Amino acid sequence: MIHPSALVHPSAQVDASAEIGPFAIVEAGAIVGPGCRLAGHAVLKAGAVLGPGVVVDHFAVVGGDPQDLSFDPATRSRVEVGPRAVLREHVTVHRATKPDAATIVGADSLLMAGSHVAHDCVLGAGVILANGCMLGGHVHVGDQAFISGGVAVHQFCRVGGGSLTSGNAVITEDVPPNGLAHGRNELAGLNLIGLRRRGVAAAAVAELKRAFHAVYVPGQACATLAQAELAGGTYHTPEGRAFLEFFLGGKRGRFVQPA
């Protein structure tokens, strides 16, 4: 199922059930898993790995060099794309900057047309990046987060699982799990619609609401308040504890704030 005009390096590993369209390029050492589909003019760079059922659409490039001026192109690194992920037209995913490291796109993720995932990013399962979304280097995105069209996320930021970031937002600080971010580092509250759609239990939603109001107190440090809440031992759902634990980590040291 490889089109005669496609260029596939002899050292690439292409499963017999994969489809590679016209003028697609698969470079040395790339791995194309079972049931994958590369559309015409898609490019899979050296060392990139596609799990089962991945779709790479027209003119998408997976595994390109990082846009880091200090990067040595001789570094052996890769991109790993999880099962059933879909990368639409003109998507770009850059490989990691460190030897033997990987930029990761989680299973069942959808990267819409023109979105960009920079070097060393880690996307969880079921993440959606809408058209034109841009992630800087080392960004971590939790499971089932939705980042809308035109959003720019600064390097080293974390976007918590289950969160929703609305269109054209500018994010230079961490977005908590199940948060509803907008504008420039502003938080509208919790993503209650998303929680309901995912069938999250009422007890967990109640704990999230309590944790949200406990952490976001004007003039006080979110991390200190989150640590105190956890120490109290009154949070029993994974969602509630994960929300509080989020404030104890990260490299940015700042969090989007309620508008």
Q: Is 120 a catalytic residue?
A: yes
Q: Does the structure show a pLDDT above 90 at 211?
A: yes
Mean pLDDT (the chain) is 97
* 51 counts as catalytic: no
pLDDT bucket at 150, cuts 50 / 70 / 90: very high
Q: Catalytic pick from 53, 120, 126, 240?
A: 120
The predicted structure's pLDDT at residue 105: 99
pLDDT at 253: 81
- In this prediction, residues 233-240 reach a mean pLDDT of 97
Q: What's the pLDDT band for 252 if we cut at 50, 70, 90?
A: confident
Topology adopted by domain 7-195: UDP N-Acetylglucosamine Acyltransferase; domain 1 (2.160.10)
Q: At what angle do helices 222-231 and 202-215 cross, to 10 degrees?
A: 130
Task: Find the catalytic residue in 116, 119, 140, 154.
Answer: 119
Q: Is 137 a catalytic residue?
A: yes
- Residue whose entry in the numeric block shows the structure tokens 């930029």: 103
Q: Are 150 and 170 in contact (CB under 8 A)?
A: no
- Average pLDDT on 57-65 reads 98
Q: What percent of the chain has pLDDT over 90?
A: 98
What residue spans of 125-201 are helical by DSSP H?
192-197
Predicted TM-score (pTM) above 0.95: yes
Q: Above pLDDT 70, what percent of the chain?
A: 100
pLDDT of residue 215: 97
Of 242, 241, 248, 240, the closest CA to residue 222 belongs to 248
Quote the CA–CA distance of 131 and 140 in Å, as a whole number. Answer: 19
Residues of the chain with CATH 2.160.10.10: 7-195
Q: Which of 47, 106, 124, 137 is catalytic?
A: 137
Find the mean pLDDT for residues 222-237: 97
Distances (CA, A) of 217 to 29, 139, 235: 52, 26, 18
Residue 202's contacts (CB-CB under 8 Å, 6 or more residues apart) are none
